[in-house]
Structure 1
């Protein structure tokens, strides 16, 4: 068994980050607890409560009444105390999931009611129709220059984004910053966002239901920001906006006029920073797409 003393500071930090991402909030009790003794005492207490004496059983049968609660004899000189009764169990009402159609309609209403990105963020913070918000730490909302004319949209928040509450944080954010810098753009000059604003557990791909519920929010973000050019990152994002089942390698590098949120935006899809981290050979394809994006925004 590996002890914490055997780990370097970097390894220990990585282990703690792993536990935090998994939802672990504490590792040890404040005081040692003997769970085996606790369990045995619990069994003994239950057995004593369930085993009435023979005399009491005979008395109950003869009288035809319900069993009387057993009371411990009072100590000499003590004042009898009133009977203590256990509180009646409270019937728990299970959480009722909102039907998909209703959740989508509520999302449309909340998004359509917002007249600015600030109002939209407040509406999304109060929206309870998407199950992802129950497991995510933070709502990851759009960030950057909403008046810069360029919007970059990814699929969903990852662990670093969820922890920091901002899109494209951590290692993937650094990769995106380098991608933008390669065509003369600073991170602060563009508006960054995601299709789904809450991190799915384990970084899994959002379901079709989750995407449909979140669609009104990302479309409203685009409509309010009114970007002149839109850059989509990754397979999920390209399919979400373009439709179909083609892969990002089939959808990338081609300009399309995308009707979204009541406006039409020239849109280009390319690979996500995660694609470049896991398969560095993809960098050459992303670079071709970024050069095409640069030529269009400067033209």
Structure 2
């Protein structure tokens, strides 16, 4: 099943309305009090993406700064209901300063389009903001230095659904060593936010037979998204 084979006629969704970052539903989704150790917002204050971006200017909190061209912060709708989180930037992302702009990013765009959304309606970020040399996995000290900024981004955006792309993102967010094949296919709770892991687009480029599993996960996201926008 090639990416062209991703269904292009998903259920018609309601038009997306821009919501306030202050909105909190009765289920507690979107409430981020208690994210211990990651710079929680003080009562009555707001964390903004622009403020977080400024914190990262000329960041030298880990050794990755020495080889980067650009800090890859994140992109998309700052009030998005749906947040995609990947591992870290690759060569193309390091050059452009935006996440998921290479071949894996093009595939992610098609996946998002397949659930009748576009990149401007969601937000896309990574666990780490600088490219690891040789596209290796991020090391523990690098994660420790950078993950707090992703957490602050989540506090600012207040998504209602998070899609963790790949084992690294899923395991980091859920604090587990469980394999992605065991984690995908169902929603987990990330501080009261629904989080669903799925395979990384780069993995799908090498293993196209796994696209059907990603489509199953995306259909779950679409169903949940439609329930949010219809309320």
Fold-level similarity (TM above 0.5):
yes
- How far off its partner does 1:146 sit? 1.2
Match of 1:208 in 2: 140
Runs of 4+ residues over 4 Å off in structure 1: 111-114
Question: Residue by residue, what CA displacement relative to the aligned partner does 1:64-98 show, whole Å, maximum 9, x if unpaired?
Answer: xxxxxxxxxxxxxxxxxxxxxxxxxxxxxxxxxxx
Matching of residue 283 in structure 1 with residue 211 in structure 2: yes
Q: Secondary structure at the match of 2:190?
A: strand
Distance in structure 2 (CA, Å) of the matches to 1:276 and 1:152: 16
Match of 1:131 in 2: 63
Q: Quick check: 1:153–1:231 contact (8 Å CA) kept in 2?
A: yes
Question: Residue by residue, what CA displacement relative to the aligned partner does 1:260-285 show, whole Å, maximum 9, x if unpaired?
Answer: xxxx3111111110111011111011
Structure 1 residues 114 and 131: CA distance shift in structure 2, 3 A: farther
Larger radius of gyration between Structure 1 and Structure 2: 1
Q: Secondary structure at the match of 1:187?
A: coil
Matching of residue 177 in structure 1 with residue 109 in structure 2: yes
TM-score by length of 2: 0.77
Match of 2:5 in 1: none
Matching of residue 266 in structure 1 with residue 198 in structure 2: no
- How far off its partner does 1:108 sit? 5.3
Question: Residue by residue, what CA displacement relative to the aligned partner does 1:166-189 show, whole Å, maximum 9, x if unpaired?
Answer: 010021111000111111110111
Q: Quick check: 1:153–1:237 contact (8 Å CA) kept in 2?
A: yes
Of 163, 173, 178, which aligns to 2:95? 163
Gaps in structure 1 of 5+ consecutive residues = 1-106
Match of 2:152 in 1: 220
Q: Secondary structure at the match of 1:188?
A: coil
RMSD over aligned Cα atoms: 2.0
Distance in structure 2 (CA, Å) of the matches to 1:119 and 1:217: 11
Of 245, 252, 255, which aligns to 2:177? 245
Question: Residue by residue, what CA displacement relative to the aligned partner does 1:191-230 show, whole Å, maximum 9, x if unpaired?
Answer: 1100000010000000111111111110000011101111
Match of 1:293 in 2: 221
Gaps in structure 2 of 5+ consecutive residues = 1-36
Distance in structure 2 (CA, Å) of the matches to 1:116 and 1:152: 18
Which of structures 1 and 2 has the larger relative contact order (alpha carbons within 8 angstroms, sep 6+)? 2
